[in-house]
Amino acid sequence: MKAFASALIAAFSIQTAVLAGYLHYPAAAALLWIIAGAVIIQGVKVAGGGVRRRTMRRMRDALATLILVGGMLRFIVTQLPLGGGDGYRPPDLKGGSKSSTAQESTASADSSGDHNGVILLPEPQQHTTLVPPLPAMPSDLFDQKHQNPLTIPFYGAYWFFKLPDTGPPPGSYVTHGTPTEMTFRAPDYRPLIMEAHQNLGKLIDLACCREIRIEIQNADRYPGTVAMELILVNTREGQEGSVSLGSAPVTSAPGDPGSPMRETLTFPIPARPRIQRFDELMIRFPRQRTRMNRSAKIAIERFVLVPRS
């Protein structure tokens, strides 16, 4: 019985040390490794040294217990809300979605885990990109003479934060770059929420378009584990001013993370959307539970608004 108890303590210490290291608690992990080592050494000494029958039996008991405790811990971590990514529910857009400009002075977090949130802004452009002046355009965007799709480069911001926050909290870290070149990780067990926000500066009539396309660069190494959800937001209508156009999986699989692949995702606009106009594009990046603590290496290049006729 003593041998089994020692094996149980050693196995539990090893498993908990691995878990503590994964959750970025190095001091606790180190202490647990020391305890496990001490228990194993003491067990060998009690057996009289050498590889004897009792020592082999203890090793067998330790291995069996390791598998048992490992399975139990894996079940607890992945199934309880405290550790699983499946427990994530999109936050309410109460009070409307804030523009990236308004958030820049108060929010963000970096990959070191020293911050509670991050705002990632695009790098300053070395050249001028010619785009239509959106505030000066009519809300329906298209007329009989102009039926070509409208392309809008992405100039918004990426948000990285953790529940129960609904956005990067005050004091977050602000930096420049793209998600294809930078990786952000959650420093604890809470899932890392990844969003992109682009405020257009004027209300656009949804009747103008039949679909919205998002052109992306994908450098993610785990194909099939990331999707993108497009949400149209009317920031002037409060909590009810949004409609989701659904999620689309990211299916491209770059062979070299340093050479992102281009992919286009299409989001049809329903015939009877719950809102009539929008002035912000909001993109969420739902990911599989096993990688909810790490950001997706996907960058948005542009939006394409396709007219109905």
Q: Do residues 68 and 92 share a domain?
A: no
**Structural domains in the chain (count):** 2
> Which residue range forms the structural domain that includes residue 24?
2-79
d(CA 247, CA 280): 17
Q: Do residues 250 and 183 share a domain?
A: yes
What is residue 187's predicted lDDT score, i.e. its pLDDT? 75
Q: To the nearest whole number, what is the mean pLDDT of the chain?
A: 76
Region for residue 37 given its phi and psi (left: phi exceeds 0; alpha: psi -120 to 50; beta: otherwise): alpha
Q: Do residues 56 and 112 share a domain?
A: no
Q: Do residues 237 and 259 share a domain?
A: yes
Q: Do residues 22 and 46 share a domain?
A: yes
Q: Do residues 183 and 103 share a domain?
A: yes
CB atoms within 10 A of CB 221: 12
Domain boundary among 55, 79, 103: 79
What is residue 78's predicted lDDT score, i.e. its pLDDT? 44
Q: Do residues 241 and 294 share a domain?
A: yes
CA 294: distance to chain centroid? 6
Question: Tell me: the pLDDT tens digits for 267-293?
Answer: 999 988 889 999 999 999 999 988 888
Question: Tell me: the pLDDT tens digits for 264-273?
Answer: 999 999 988 8
Q: Which of 39-48, 109-118, 125-134, 169-178 has the lowest mean pLDDT?
A: 125-134
Q: Do residues 64 and 158 share a domain?
A: no
Domain boundary among 49, 79, 109: 79
Q: Do residues 34 and 164 share a domain?
A: no
Q: Do residues 10 and 75 share a domain?
A: yes
Question: Tell me: the pLDDT tens digits for 203-260?
Answer: 999 888 899 999 999 999 888 899 999 999 999 876 678 999 999 999 998 876 578 8
What is residue 266's predicted lDDT score, i.e. its pLDDT? 97
